[in-house]
Structure 1
Amino acid sequence: MLFTYKIYNSIFKKEQLKMEKNAFDLLDERLLKVITEYGYREPTSIQNKAIPKILQGRDLIITAPTGSGKTEAAVFPIFSLMLKDESWNGKPLMVYVTPLRALNRDIFVRLEDISNKIGLKSIVRHGDSSKRERGDFLRSSYHWFITTPESLSMLITHSATRDMLTDIKFVVIDEVHELIDSERGNTLEVVLKRLKRIVKKYQFIGISATIPDASIIKKFYSCPFCEVIEDDVKKDIEIKVRIPGSGTSSKGEDEFSEILKIINEEIERAKSSIIFTNTRDMAEFLTYKLRELGRDDIEIHHGSLATEVRKSVEKKLKGGEIKGIIATSSLELGIDIGSVDLVIQYGSPRQAIRMLQRVGRSGHSIVKKARGIIVTTKNLDEIIESVVIARRTLKGELESLIPHEKPFDVLVHQLVGMLLSAEQRKEEEILKFLNATFSFRNLTEEELKKAIEFCEGIKLIIRKENGELVASRRAREYYYSTTMIPDVQKIPVVTVYGDRIGYLDSDFVLSKLDEGSSFILQGREWSVVSIDDEKLVVEEVTERMGAPPSWIGEMIPVSRNVAREAISLLSRICRGEVYEKIKSQYQSITIEAYDFVKKVCEDTRKQGFEFPSQNIALIDWTKTGLLVLTYPLGSNGNETLSLLISNYIFSKTGRSVSTSSDPYRIYMESTFPLTLNDLIEALYSLSLKEKDEIEEMIKSQLKKSNIFMYKLSTVAKKMGAISKNATLSEVKKVLKYYKDTLIGEEAFREVFYEKLDIRSVIEMLKDIKSGKVRIVAQPIEGLSPLVVNSSSAPRPVGYALETLPQELLIKVLEKRILEKTVLLKCMNCGWEKSVKVSELPDIISCEKCGARAVAPLPPSNEEFVNAIRKYFKEGKKSLKGKEKEYFEDAVKRAKLVITHGKTAVMALTPYGVGPKGASRALSMLKLGWNEFLRTLYEEERNYFRTRKYWD
């Protein structure tokens, strides 16, 4: 770059820059003196590589692990160059962009003191900046500032602040990978292109600890000659996958209690730790449960908390006041929280790129090992998926970053911004400018005309008589109040009795719910009584019909590659590959995890079921019409295939099919019995269709779907058609009119990009047509242990349960009952024994006296157990009040065991089921085993529904 070359040409020859062993010696003496005071004496490997390049004016992408000093590698040489610039006229020379306001604050705190001591003034400028700070930015002189993509977009449009950017010579983007696959990235790309029109040329520096593919970053930011600088020193990473039952957790305990115990033990062993969850609800729940265990030395950290609260939590961990933080993605990026020994991930991280970012927060130094533990439930998918993701993380096999192409909401927003700043006014100039960006390189003249006409229609743009375009009065309000970060309104959910049970996003409510419709929240099904702008009034559903939508928030998608490898690993274990061989490739798998998977495989084989593989579309089926298709297309692929199957069956029969999917399978049920032939015919028929037909079928199905309506609402707000302050009822009234407009087109594009994977589905259908993939129905009726154990992840009460067919939930209940531990108490002699239900014989008798009057007692109810023990120690007369009731209850339990043996114990094991409820379930045995389990399922649900009214 000319600027840096001119300054340094008179100081160092190029050869000197290359040959210098200590890159700090190349820095300005004033800076060198100050950073030495702050402990920067020897440059790190990445600093030695990057500093000379930046001083030469090279555009760089710097990639190095957390703790390697990459921020300083980028900024120190720029500070040096700014100190040498004698032509500075008071305007900023560097803009430092981060994806998070919290990261802005953190970076600023780290660099502000050094900057001030060498005479370089700086400021933070983002959406939370006060009126005084915004005024200071205009009135005072600053050498550099930190901002976000959204704020930079505003600054370059406003005439006063736009003039402040004319001397920018350095653009630094921190966590450069983070924005590539979001519309915030598209916004930043266009804004930087607009900046280049003002300054002609700037030096580009991108920084990240995690870059899957640098080539896409170079293309995206129009930096073809960017040099990628990687750290020579690779950080040592260790990841283990733990499941309940491993380590010191006692046998037979409630599974979630075991998970809590594992997490608690790991926190205790480590000096400091971060526990990551995939949702805020689970972060809140884990914090609550750990504090119940007496863990007062942990805090919670997520984006919904106030800035002051998050800052306080970060400071406490850094200062050693607490031992751990439970966090969501809010701590994934490079916020400085000091030295962390351990990262715990609760549940599958779902993506290798996310796991690498998270585990990299531990060992916050290049010389320290990064230690991570993934703690999962005894859920086959979670275990296998976590083991696969751990391997891919360690090997650096990360998910690809795929940018949005031609996002119309970004186009409308930036088009309005360019007209507000009078950068362009003619269509041909605007098209030429946009075609020079990566995001809109393929934008056609017709598409731009369509966007302009849309803006004219909603009064954002006015076309003058000479054809030039100008911004309207409304345009300013729209532009400065809108970002590509969806503005989500939370609607309280309240029962008819006035109890608040949670919140739902307004877009979920308006797109999926009406009076009388149902949904799942907190693991229970609710029916909507009324909807207004302030709250959603509901009552609990007593009889389930179909598969209602559940609110679990935005789940991180699992890629097709991860799903395929997971199925492959499962297949290898099921076919008998020994632990040592698996361990040699998958270092993170523990013997406990392997044994659990192997046991499920053995149960599957014994029962006569087939195993899944990459080359088999395997169908589990039941007499009641529940079908489960197992094939590893990943989250988006199986979502796409489920839409196609629903569309096909509806077009043939006129009947709707309820579906839900995960990365490995699709569940299907209907109000009419689905048959194997229905699904097999659908798959074969779809395999004969062309790509265009497939896409049209998906669009047709999407238009009727909740996913589309949900997206339509957010897009309408981003494109200025609906005010972000509009009430729920106002939004609902107008939403249907936007389906066939540019808003609907953009909503389709976003759903296709974010939720679907048409390419993978078309490949699968081609493989079915060619015979490479076979459609195989299970040889016997029912759900295989592989399906049941993959869908049985226990959720604690109060945590959202994913929508699963009732038949599968009943199978899950059976599995949970068999895994529970009960306390058997002989009502004749007082003998007692703790035993797992699955290990009981069919006929139960006392091992001491031989009597069959044995009562199964709930071990968790200490009052109950102690009352019966008191009876045998002190006699019946010693029992008082509630103790007498417990004794009578135990006698009734023993009578049921005399008659029904092990089955009676099973009937008495679910939550809240006593002798009365157990008797009702046992009376259903004459109708078959499934009716017995179904009755138990309803008894347990009834307990959860009514227990809040009990004294």
Structure 2
Amino acid sequence: MKTHNISKTMDQFKHLHEKVKEPLKKFGITKPTPIQRRAIPPVLKGKNSLLVAPTGTGKTEAALLPIFSQYVEKDTENGIKIIYIAPLRALNRDMLDRLQRWEEHLDLDIQVRHGDTTQYQRRQQALHPPDILITTPETMQAILPGSRMKEHLKSVRWVIVDEVHELAESKRGTQLSLGLERVFRLAGDFQRVGLSATVGDMEKMSRFLVGPEREVEIVNASSTEEMSIWVESPMPTESDAELSDDLNADPSTIARIRRIRDLIDEHESSLTFVNTREASEILGSRLKFWDSDFPVSVHHGSLSKDYRISSEDEFRKGGVKSIICTSSMELGIDIGNIDFVIQYMSPRQVKRLIQRVGRSGHKIREASEGVVIAADPDDVIEAGMIAERVVSDWLEPTDIHEKSLDVLAHQIVGFTLDGVSDPEKIFEFVSRAYPYRNFPSEEFFEVVEQLQDQGVLWRDDGEISRGKRSWKYYYTTLSMIPDIKNFQIEDMVTGQSIGTLDEEFVIDKAEPGVTFICQGEAWQVVEIEDDKVRVEPIDDPYGAIPAWEGELIPVDSKIAEKSGIFRKHVKNALADGEDKDGILEDLESRYPVEKDALEWSLNYLEDQDEEAYIPTDDGLLIETYKDFAVLHVPLGTNGNRTMGQILSALLTTRLGASVRIKTDPYRIAFRFPDKPDPELIETTLRDLEPDYIEPLLEKILKKSSVFRWRLLHVAKKFGAIEKDADYSKISGDRLVEAYQDTPLWTEAEREVRLEKLNVPVVKKLLESLENDEIEIETISRGYNQGPTPIGLPILNELAASGELVVPERAEREILKALKRRLKNEQIKLLCLNCLDWSTLTRVRRLDEKPECGNCGARLLGLTPKRGREVRKLLEKERREEKLDDEEKHRIKRFKDTANMIITHGKKAITAMAGRGIGPTTASRILRKQPETEDDFYREILDAERQYARTHGFWD
């Protein structure tokens, strides 16, 4: 294998065919980009190639131009000659727009085929195949067995796979690798060209593209030398505090939003990346609430296609200055020139930060530029370590789904639909794909047997053949993406959406009274209505069940270790008596982090040092507080999840009572039935030998909800459970019992181990403990001390203000949130005296004794925010016209609100602003004459809870 490094600038367009060079001149393209200079020669020679470069640097043309040159010289056949595969339909659409200008110049027919392609278009493609077919991995699977399309695919000479890095780490990529071998069976060897962003292991990526045996060249034009990235975290100002009530957020959040707003204003066109869909909606809504005309839009996978297209078009035209997006914008959708990238909170991975910031700076070959806006001291440190790793060219390893059995099951059936009945022949083609290069034949035949047992395949005299169920199974499981319904979680105290729960959690566990963790806080289910789960916060930082965190990007163990090394550096400096300015100056020279953010993190570690012990990469801390304990250990997301599950199981066994856990990349938190002994945790950890890990995990996994959820979806992909099966009628215990010791079980366990666990890093830690290379410090915190500063974040997620909520303060924080929500509720008042004045305003803007702005009367009533029905009914009453019972009831209710307001003023309006609280309930609350303001709001909260629990039963 050869690797092409940076070469001297030269015009490589001269090697292209004249029919290709002429249109380039008409398009105004006169000079190749770096990736085009390096890629055109090997691709033009017909070599399989992996092209690695940032998005927006011309990778697509680097592949297509030399392929077009070959095409115009060699084209003699009918049928599809070039397949362009991209992971998203949006990329398909984008590619069609970019390629259509070549059609008339090269006499090409270019068409798209994906899930939205009409039946008429599909038939036309079957009758008159295009020269170039742009498609998705799933749609390629769909056309492979078709009798006409199968014939057209025999003409394939080139396949381009876009965003290889994105596909390689998912089952979609594993499925594609086998699909390409099915095309190879039809067409013979064809040239493969992969387009990839910067990755940690280019050789593995190239092998994923072509298989273990074929020749491949890596053309690398990626570089982080011209990438400018820094981390900052703005401190709140007095004006931020003044604005916090208006935006219903605390001052620190406002400071970050203000900085993002300023950065967007300072640049022509920027992308603002966040890590979750919820975060994009929250950030977008707050920017818009601040200024409804602010030129931003939101973009993520849950939005409609039309809305996403509209956002992209507006951005290209300059009507929108920034798109607030998730990973939906990491891929190479052409949205024009981008001069800056904002990452809100740590990107959690080096490769994501490179890919995201790499989307900027291609207008005139300027450097890519971006900033990370961190949210708390841990976030600052993590983001700083990631930004520093960008400079040192370290990336997380690429994890490919190797030997995936549900993918294999689908493809075995696909081969039979293609007309292959010899299992040995199928196995030969399967082994050509990189993920199955070392696949044992006995496991292959176990999958065949499983499909036979399910009635999906028939096996006779050593051959396998399709049956009636084969077609349905194949076409209903084309996608390897699990079909998961999400339920919105609504905080009934604030009225805000706080996240989502997946279908499995809601069906299996979420019922009124159940408690769970979401976003680091404990919630209790109050009601489930359609696709919404209403909850209330409770004074319990763990609750009974950890909620699913499907969208959370895992932090690699190496990044967590680097954060531990950062802490150690600060710890040693403090121990040596270095002054604060000197430490900051040293840190500034080491890490691309702005001084104020570094000082915030330094203060955080200084506070920890004064109170306890700073945990590091080789110095662990176990702290206990009340019935909680925290083990500070930097093994990354999956490492700490693995260690946490094992320790929880062992401690539960020793105590004979359940020990709950919550983990993050730097901590494992436990909740015990009583006050724990820190030495018990240390002893349990030290007694744990590396050889014990595997047998312990085998026992733990089958009881875990994560494993059962995976097993359910694997069973679905195998065809063992119908795609539209009612999951609420499926027992997790019966599922485990039914599929133990089957390929379904093996696959579910493989998936969980790859995506959710990190056994090697846990074993390495245990070996270091055995060799006395790691020290452990223990501390028991008193009731009045609270957890240590570094222990607090996992016991209660850091609130946006930077103020931490410890258990005994939880109710106060709940009431504080309720007050904020009610003060910001919008209400409409109508004067009962003159009927000529009304106002639509927020509760907080009212006087204590509100008056009519027209006649000065205080007889004001609450009306619906929209419509004039109440006013019309009152006018009808004054004209002494006949009223029906419903109309009389509505007038009485309005007058009751007016009597309440004239008696109690703004307090009555505040009460009636509560969800489901009318004049009767408000009157009951006020008659109790709550002694304090908190008592008053506590009564409102109780009334809201009662409404949430009972209104579904009202007639």
User: Residue deviations 1:711-739, cap 9 Å, x none?
Assistant: 12221221112222222324448634444
2:585 counterpart residue number: 580
1:143 counterpart residue number: 131
Pair 1:475-2:470 in alignment: yes
Aligned residue among 507, 512, 536 for 1:510: 507
Following superposition, the deviation at residue 206 of structure 1 comes to 1.2
Following superposition, the deviation at residue 90 of structure 1 comes to 1.9
Distance 1:36 1:416 in 2: 48
What is the DSSP-based 3-state SS (H/G/I as helix, E as strand, rest coil) of the residue aligned with 1:695? helix
What is the DSSP-based 3-state SS (H/G/I as helix, E as strand, rest coil) of the residue aligned with 2:46? coil
Following superposition, the deviation at residue 118 of structure 1 comes to 2.0
Q: Does the aligned pair in 1 maintain the 2:157–2:191 contact within 8 Å?
A: yes
2:678 counterpart residue number: 676
Q: What amino acid is the match of 1:337?
A: I
Distance 1:54 1:758 in 2: 41
Following superposition, the deviation at residue 434 of structure 1 comes to 2.4
1:639 counterpart residue number: 641
Pair 1:746-2:751 in alignment: no
Q: Does the aligned pair in 1 maintain the 2:508–2:728 contact within 8 Å?
A: no
Pair 1:245-2:274 in alignment: no
Q: What amino acid is the match of 1:456?
A: Q
What is the correspondence of 1:119-198 to structure 2 with a 5 Å cutoff?
Answer: 119-198=107-186
Pair 1:227-2:230 in alignment: no
Distance 2:774 2:810 in 1: 31
What is the DSSP-based 3-state SS (H/G/I as helix, E as strand, rest coil) of the residue aligned with 1:178? helix
Q: Does the aligned pair in 2 maintain the 1:669–1:805 contact within 8 Å?
A: no
Following superposition, the deviation at residue 508 of structure 1 comes to 2.7
1:236 counterpart residue number: 226
Change (3 A) 1:198 1:805: farther
Distance 1:647 1:278 in 2: 31
Distance 1:606 1:41 in 2: 63
Distance 1:504 1:727 in 2: 18
Q: What amino acid is the match of 2:620?
A: A
Pair 1:655-2:657 in alignment: yes
Distance 1:738 1:616 in 2: 45
Change (3 A) 1:182 1:512: farther
Distance 1:91 1:867 in 2: 80
Q: Does the aligned pair in 2 maintain the 1:381–1:790 contact within 8 Å?
A: no
Following superposition, the deviation at residue 752 of structure 1 comes to 0.7
Following superposition, the deviation at residue 110 of structure 1 comes to 0.9
Q: Does the aligned pair in 2 maintain the 1:638–1:662 contact within 8 Å?
A: yes
TM-score by length of 2: 0.79
Change (3 A) 1:241 1:227: same
Instruction: Give unpaired runs (5+ residues) of structure 1.
Output: 1-17, 821-859, 869-880, 890-913, 922-935
Pair 1:604-2:608 in alignment: yes
User: Residue deviations 1:845-867, cap 9 Å, x none?
Assistant: xxxxxxxxxxxxxxx99759999
Distance 2:125 2:751 in 1: 36
Identity in percent = 32
Q: Does the aligned pair in 1 maintain the 2:714–2:747 contact within 8 Å?
A: yes
Change (3 A) 1:583 1:115: farther
2:279 counterpart residue number: 282
Q: Does the aligned pair in 1 maintain the 2:539–2:807 contact within 8 Å?
A: no
What is the correspondence of 1:710-859 to structure 2 with a 5 Å cutoff?
Answer: 710-732=709-731, 735-740=735-740, 741-778=742-779, 781=782, 782-788=786-792, 794=798, 807=807
Following superposition, the deviation at residue 657 of structure 1 comes to 0.8
Following superposition, the deviation at residue 230 of structure 1 comes to 2.1
C-alpha RMSD of the superposition: 3.8
1:69 counterpart residue number: 58
Following superposition, the deviation at residue 523 of structure 1 comes to 8.1
Higher mean alpha-carbon deviation, 705-714 vs 322-331, is at 705-714
Q: Does the aligned pair in 1 maintain the 2:805–2:813 contact within 8 Å?
A: no
User: Residue deviations 1:39-88, cap 9 Å, x none?
Assistant: 1112222212211222212221111223321211110111111111242x
Following superposition, the deviation at residue 493 of structure 1 comes to 6.5
Q: What amino acid is the match of 1:104?
A: N
Pair 1:82-2:71 in alignment: yes
Change (3 A) 1:645 1:917: farther
Higher mean alpha-carbon deviation, 626-635 vs 271-280, is at 271-280
Distance 1:359 1:454 in 2: 46
Q: Does the aligned pair in 2 maintain the 1:68–1:366 contact within 8 Å?
A: no
Distance 1:586 1:557 in 2: 22
Q: Does the aligned pair in 1 maintain the 2:51–2:219 contact within 8 Å?
A: yes
Change (3 A) 1:883 1:550: farther
Q: Does the aligned pair in 1 maintain the 2:522–2:543 contact within 8 Å?
A: no
User: Residue deviations 1:671-690, cap 9 Å, x none?
Assistant: 2332213211210111x351
Change (3 A) 1:48 1:939: farther
What is the correspondence of 1:98-497 to structure 2 with a 5 Å cutoff?
Answer: 98-221=86-209, 222=211, 224-231=214-221, 236-245=226-235, 250=240, 254=250, 255-296=252-293, 297-365=295-363, 367-377=365-375, 379-423=376-420, 425-464=421-460, 466-482=461-477, 483-491=479-487
Q: Does the aligned pair in 1 maintain the 2:39–2:63 contact within 8 Å?
A: yes
1:698 counterpart residue number: 697
Change (3 A) 1:451 1:660: same
Q: Does the aligned pair in 1 maintain the 2:524–2:538 contact within 8 Å?
A: no
Distance 2:534 2:324 in 1: 31
Q: What amino acid is the match of 2:735?
A: L
Distance 1:95 1:21 in 2: 29
What is the DSSP-based 3-state SS (H/G/I as helix, E as strand, rest coil) of the residue aligned with 2:283? helix
Q: Does the aligned pair in 1 maintain the 2:518–2:546 contact within 8 Å?
A: no
Following superposition, the deviation at residue 212 of structure 1 comes to 1.9
Q: What amino acid is the match of 1:560?
A: S
Distance 1:572 1:811 in 2: 38
Following superposition, the deviation at residue 337 of structure 1 comes to 0.6
What is the DSSP-based 3-state SS (H/G/I as helix, E as strand, rest coil) of the residue aligned with 1:179? helix
Following superposition, the deviation at residue 759 of structure 1 comes to 0.5
Distance 1:605 1:882 in 2: 54
Q: What amino acid is the match of 1:171?
A: V
Q: What amino acid is the match of 2:259?
A: I
What is the DSSP-based 3-state SS (H/G/I as helix, E as strand, rest coil) of the residue aligned with 1:439? helix
Change (3 A) 1:653 1:524: closer
Pair 1:40-2:38 in alignment: no
Pair 1:571-2:568 in alignment: yes
Distance 1:20 1:584 in 2: 34
TM-score by length of 1: 0.80
Q: What amino acid is the match of 2:472?
A: E
What is the DSSP-based 3-state SS (H/G/I as helix, E as strand, rest coil) of the residue aligned with 2:24? helix
User: Residue deviations 1:165-185, cap 9 Å, x none?
Assistant: 111111111111111121111
Higher mean alpha-carbon deviation, 112-121 vs 428-437, is at 428-437
Q: What amino acid is the match of 2:744?
A: I
Higher mean alpha-carbon deviation, 366-375 vs 20-29, is at 20-29
2:858 counterpart residue number: none
Q: Does the aligned pair in 1 maintain the 2:44–2:66 contact within 8 Å?
A: yes
Distance 2:747 2:306 in 1: 37
Instruction: Give unpaired runs (5+ residues) of structure 2.
Output: 1-6, 245-249, 575-581, 821-841, 851-899, 909-928, 950-955
Q: Does the aligned pair in 2 maintain the 1:519–1:525 contact within 8 Å?
A: yes
Distance 2:70 2:907 in 1: 86
Higher mean alpha-carbon deviation, 345-354 vs 521-530, is at 521-530
2:3 counterpart residue number: none
Q: Does the aligned pair in 2 maintain the 1:864–1:883 contact within 8 Å?
A: no
Following superposition, the deviation at residue 30 of structure 1 comes to 2.2
